[in-house]
Structure 1
């Protein structure tokens, strides 16, 4: 689009920062930022502004932080901004129909999956956990459903064997900002050719919880490794060690040559060997190499260093 759009940006966490910065560097005008209310953070539980709010304040953009957009006062406030478009990226509040209909071109969402796969709260983590070959970003015209809107633009990226939720998150944040800018170049055109989502292909990315991060060493090795990668940086996979949680930050599958000389019939969770590269731990079908761990109350460390001080060969997690 040759014309400069008046845009309201709604987002909260780090993932939303790259798209906001891309808009600020463009010909478009960010007239307001909506973000979650400041939350307590850190050891002192001090009220802390969201990453998006911090960027907005640096650029002297008005910031709005309603607890909800369902009440009339918040809706009237938003209506008076008279925006052409609202761009929503991991905002964290539900937008009612009244808000969705306010801007001239409606509301666009940057969603971190190849819709209709992985609608919902944790698309990045669930894609890795499930062993998907690729992830990506979908620019979607928002409607009242949960990630059910028509798709305007998609970009794909392969999920590498070493990808964690953090590395994929960072890549998708940048891809999302690029996809947004590409969409805005011809927004009416993309909206005219918007694609409906195929309901038969829908999957849901359930919210993560700490309990599911406990490692089950009787699962297949590939499943264990994927979960470790998916839950880095939160909630972080863990296993029990002497009654305390031992967090496992990084692991990988062994290649056939590495696994050849090992006792692969050992019970799941058994430490088969300790090498400079890490601890080799048995799973249901084959062992994995645990590379980086974090004992309770300590900093993350190389698994080799953790094991050296404890003589762990033969120990069972």
Structure 2
């Protein structure tokens, strides 16, 4: 099929590569403009641009894909279908009408659940055991179009957002190629979403990067994994910020604190332990334990929690800086 592809981050790359491997005629790849990244703020190409260049494909990076000149250029390509995967731009009604079979999108959730920008993160943060990918016909709304194909995928215990993103990207690539095959055969299904069942996954904000350690450790663990490896939960101690890249809730940890078998604990207190490493007290009484298995100080390297505790000379019972006063009413089991 004659395909126009639109995508930007790593999530979109497997679909692009799968389309090329299946012999589709990829007329052009549209992706977001290069962005400044890293400490030097040098312009960096999006992953889709890198992959498309490796595949020898034409690449365009208009700031807005729905402007008349871009719509006209795509119309002249006479595409059979436009495939979208995490593109990051709104598609206008005029552009949606250009391809013979319209625009079809890879969405990493079981629509209508988790419409929006952060379905993978919200799925893990909410503790879902099953998620999936949906191939959706795009319309003028955000993730409101008819459903083509769906595949359920289990969420492994302990998986973080990065791992699930890669997993769902691979499943999405396979499902998209199957869907295009069905379009060619004239057998592609099309089922309207039940809008009454819709839930939403809003974009991750800076506020999401802060957790209240009065919450249960299991809840905070899911939050950490939902934001890992980027942008990560952020905490601070004595004014020094650090990212929490991985963490694990534990039940019985107080006996691992050495001579203090029954320490006086509170939410946000840190305890360097012999067996588990660095534990932070969680829950309303601080006796719920969360092992900080991997952290990254601001401007520093990734390291284990125990190494971080030694480097910062964290003493037993030292508290994290808390953005929530104890009488704020937030948190609690």
- Shared fold (TM-score greater than 0.5)? yes
Residue 170 of structure 1: how far off its partner (Å)? 0.8
Write the distance in 2 (CA, Å) between the matches of 1:41 and 1:245: 20
2:279 is matched with which residue? Answer: 280
1:141 is matched with which residue? Answer: 137
SS of match in other structure, 1:288: strand
- Note the alpha carbon deviations across 1:58-90, whole angstroms, 9 max, x for none: 222111211113321111011000000100001
Q: Which moved more, 1:76-85 or 1:60-69?
A: 60-69
Residue 157 of structure 1: how far off its partner (Å)? 1.4
Is 1:314 aligned with 2:326? no
- Note the alpha carbon deviations across 1:86-109, whole angstroms, 9 max, x for none: 000011111111111111111100
> Which of residues 23, 35, 38 in structure 2 aligns to 1:27?
23
Write the distance in 2 (CA, Å) between the matches of 1:190 and 1:138: 19
RMSD: 1.9
Q: How many residues align?
A: 312
> Which of residues 276, 298, 301 in structure 1 aligns to 2:300?
298
Q: Is the 8 A contact 1:215 1:237 kept in 2?
A: yes
Write the distance in 1 (CA, Å) between the matches of 2:237 and 2:272: 17
Residue 149 of structure 1: how far off its partner (Å)? 0.5
Is 1:160 aligned with 2:162? no
Residue 28 of structure 1: how far off its partner (Å)? 1.4
SS of match in other structure, 1:267: coil
Q: Is the 8 A contact 1:33 1:56 kept in 2?
A: yes
TM-score where L is the length of structure 1: 0.92
Residue 24 of structure 1: how far off its partner (Å)? 0.7
Distance 1:276 1:300, change over 3 A: farther
Task: Note the 1:81-96 alignment, pairs <5 A.
Answer: 81-96=77-92
- Note the alpha carbon deviations across 1:139-177, whole angstroms, 9 max, x for none: 001111000001111112111221111100111111110
Write the distance in 2 (CA, Å) between the matches of 1:249 and 1:51: 22
Write the distance in 2 (CA, Å) between the matches of 1:301 and 1:246: 11
- Note the alpha carbon deviations across 1:107-141, whole angstroms, 9 max, x for none: 10000111111111111101011111111110001
Q: Which moved more, 1:133-142 or 1:307-316?
A: 307-316
SS of match in other structure, 1:205: coil
2:231 is matched with which residue? Answer: 235
Q: Is the 8 A contact 2:252 2:289 kept in 1?
A: no
2:178 is matched with which residue? Answer: 182
2:5 is matched with which residue? Answer: 9
